[in-house]
Amino acid sequence: MDFDYLLINGTVVDGTGNPPFRARVGIAGDRLRIIRGATDVAAAHVYDIDGCVIAPGFIDMHSHTGLLLLEQPVNEAKIRQGVTTEIVGVDGLGYAPFFSKAELQRLVRYNSGLDGRPDVEYDWSTVEEYLARLDRKAAVNVAYLVGNSALRILGLGWEPRRPSAGELANMSSALEDALAEGAFGLSTGLDYPPGSHADTDELVALSQVVARMGGIYHTHVRYQLGDRYLDPFREAVEIGERSGCPVHLTHLYRRTSARGGSAPLLELVDDAVGRGMEVTFDTYPWEWSGTRLPMLLPLWSQEGTPDQILARLTDRRHRGRLRVDVDARGESYAGADIWGRIRLCGFTAQQNRMYEGWTLQQVMSDMELPAADTIVELLVSEDFGVSQVAPGPHGASVPAFLVHPRGMIGSDSVFVGEYPSPRSYGTFPRVLGEFVREERALSLEDAVRKMTSLPANRLGLVGRGLVKDDFFADLVVFDPRTVKHLASYETPRVYPEGIHHVFVNGVPTLLDDKSTSQCPGRALRRR
């Protein structure tokens, strides 16, 4: 058999969690084959990768590139981490289905501090049309989740109320169509309006549709619920239990502001699994989170359309209440001195560009305004497009989530501005370099499993997630002795080292540490 590419003298870590083995790996078309022994084979291109690992391409279980890839399809930040598949439409903020171009653009505008606002034609309405915009037009494969914000806008607009029976039926029908067109499940972001307006019963009803069609419920939980610690996750488990739908808790970690440790969070997962439920999660190995600036605002101030929100924020009658609630929100967000630990980026207005990379406290001092007034001024002048980086996971607790058998890796990557969270450029190499090689918190084969076959099985990706004969040739070649992240809080937009070759569907996207600028990624569809 002749191959297009042949990788020789490498060690295969196949994604199963089993011990590594020496073998050659050949690529023919979009498929791979393991070659053992002395069998003679021919190949157009041979790469001697002595000392390096051949692994399945990494699957990022949480990525904010669903719009970015339309404008910047060669996403080097991900390719250079070994990522070959990204899960988009996360946090309830997917961008299909939308039967109104105006409503689609409103959500893009309001969410621009998180997903950006690429200068592209927003001309799709269905999931099928959206996926067609990405199919074989990006450097990575994409798996899509239907965001509940889109469903609510489609069913009842931006209003903070429960849907009528008819409206819920329409939302369920739209969700069913989206799943039939290939979406892998439903995502929620229960701190992000308008999806946050959904109550538990509404989410159970939608998850019943997902369960019937074989998808998953992928949830950013309602962090402000109850004790703001375990209660948000209890609601997620309840939704899965009542609907029969598998639950995936995205970016699960012990928050810096949590009132308890990591053990009770992981015990909640274990208890649910012990009762026969399908519960999994992803986490990221960084102390810094990243999201849109309106996250600091109370939910009452974010009701309605973007124009209605701006009108409310600039109405002086609400300013006193807003100041009180923003200060309280800041204290619950990450403790004392929070304004000096939230970094802002993504500024485009001329008068604000000097603030790129400044903390909120620094901007407050420059404007001589309190926190709420400063946030309002920035959101109005930037039309919502401001991103923030703030303390997130409690650093010492990260290994507990990385090693848990139900845990996967999701970068939660955000690419707005010059100073995003370093997780966007360094998540996967940090796991391999720091937590595998240096800290020995988990084995190399288990780390690879968590990045490959475990998410592939969770999603039901056929023929991906393993180095196995006739599987799709999504592969990464890295040096386990040198792989490491270089991104930091101070300099987040820095590529990692030690990842040398990446193939997506048999096509090289990274060769000899250089991007090929090729876009062989496919829009994957649930089967």
Over 90: is that where the pLDDT of 56 sits? yes
Q: pLDDT digit string (tens) for 281-290?
A: 999 999 999 9
Residues near 422 by Cβ (< 8 Å), separated by ≥ 6? 286, 288, 485, 487, 488, 489, 492
Check residue 136 and give left, alpha or beta (phi > 0: left; psi -120 to 50: alpha): left
Task: State the pLDDT at residue 257.
Answer: 67
Over 90: is that where the pLDDT of 527 sits? no
Average confidence (pLDDT) over 186-193: 97
Which residue is associated with the tokens 């090689």?
437
Q: What is the value of pTM for the model shown?
A: 0.97
The domains located in the chain, with CATH, are 58-287+404-459+466-484+495-514 (3.20.20.140), 291-391 (no CATH)
Over 90: is that where the pLDDT of 509 sits? yes
pLDDT band of 260, cuts 50, 70, 90: confident
Q: pLDDT digit string (tens) for 297-315?
A: 999 999 999 999 999 999 9
Task: State the pLDDT at residue 395.
Answer: 85
Task: State the pLDDT at residue 392.
Answer: 87
pLDDT band of 329, cuts 50, 70, 90: confident
Minimal CA–CA distance to 277: which of 224, 229, 207, 336? Answer: 207
Is 293:395 a contact under the CB 8 Å cutoff?
Answer: no
Average confidence (pLDDT) over 148-162: 97
pLDDT band of 328, cuts 50, 70, 90: confident
Average confidence (pLDDT) over 240-267: 91
pLDDT band of 396, cuts 50, 70, 90: confident
pLDDT band of 337, cuts 50, 70, 90: confident
Task: State the pLDDT at residue 331.
Answer: 74
Task: State the pLDDT at residue 38.
Answer: 77
Percent of the chain with pLDDT over 70: 99
Q: Distance between CA 113 and CA 426 in Å, rounded? A: 21
Q: pLDDT digit string (tens) for 99-120?
A: 999 999 999 999 999 999 999 9
> Where would I find the beta strands (DSSP E) of 29-152?
31-35, 42-48, 53-56, 58-60, 83-88, 141-144, 146-147
Q: Distance between CA 103 and CA 237 in Å, rounded? A: 31
Task: State the pLDDT at residue 333.
Answer: 61
pLDDT band of 335, cuts 50, 70, 90: low
pLDDT band of 336, cuts 50, 70, 90: low
Average confidence (pLDDT) over 332-356: 88
Task: State the pLDDT at residue 378.
Answer: 98
Beta strands 21-28 and 343-345 are unpaired
Average confidence (pLDDT) over 251-262: 83
Task: State the pLDDT at residue 334.
Answer: 52
pLDDT band of 255, cuts 50, 70, 90: confident
Q: pLDDT digit string (tens) for 377-389?
A: 999 999 999 999 9
Q: What's the whole-number average pLDDT of the chain?
A: 96
Residues near 315 by Cβ (< 8 Å), separated by ≥ 6? none
Q: Distance between CA 229 and CA 309 in Å, rounded? A: 28
Q: Distance between CA 269 and CA 98 in Å, rounded? A: 34
Q: Distance between CA 310 and CA 305 in Å, rounded? A: 9
Percent of the chain with pLDDT over 90: 93
Residues near 233 by Cβ (< 8 Å), separated by ≥ 6? 221, 249, 252, 265, 268
Tokens of 321: 């209440």
59 bridge partner residues:
85
Is 391:288 a contact under the CB 8 Å cutoff?
Answer: yes
Task: State the pLDDT at residue 289.
Answer: 95
Q: Distance between CA 57 and CA 51 in Å, rounded? A: 18
- As a dihedral over the C-alpha atoms of residue 76, residue 79, residue 82, residue 88, rounded to 10 degrees, the angle is 110
Bond preceding residue 480 cis, omega within 30 of 0: no
Over 60: is that where the pLDDT of 142 sits? yes
Average confidence (pLDDT) over 425-452: 98
How many CB atoms within 10 Å of residue 495? 18
Sheet holding 288-292: strands in order across? Answer: 288-292, 387-391, 343-345
Q: Pick the range with the lowest mean pLDDT from 180-184, 332-336, 451-455.
A: 332-336
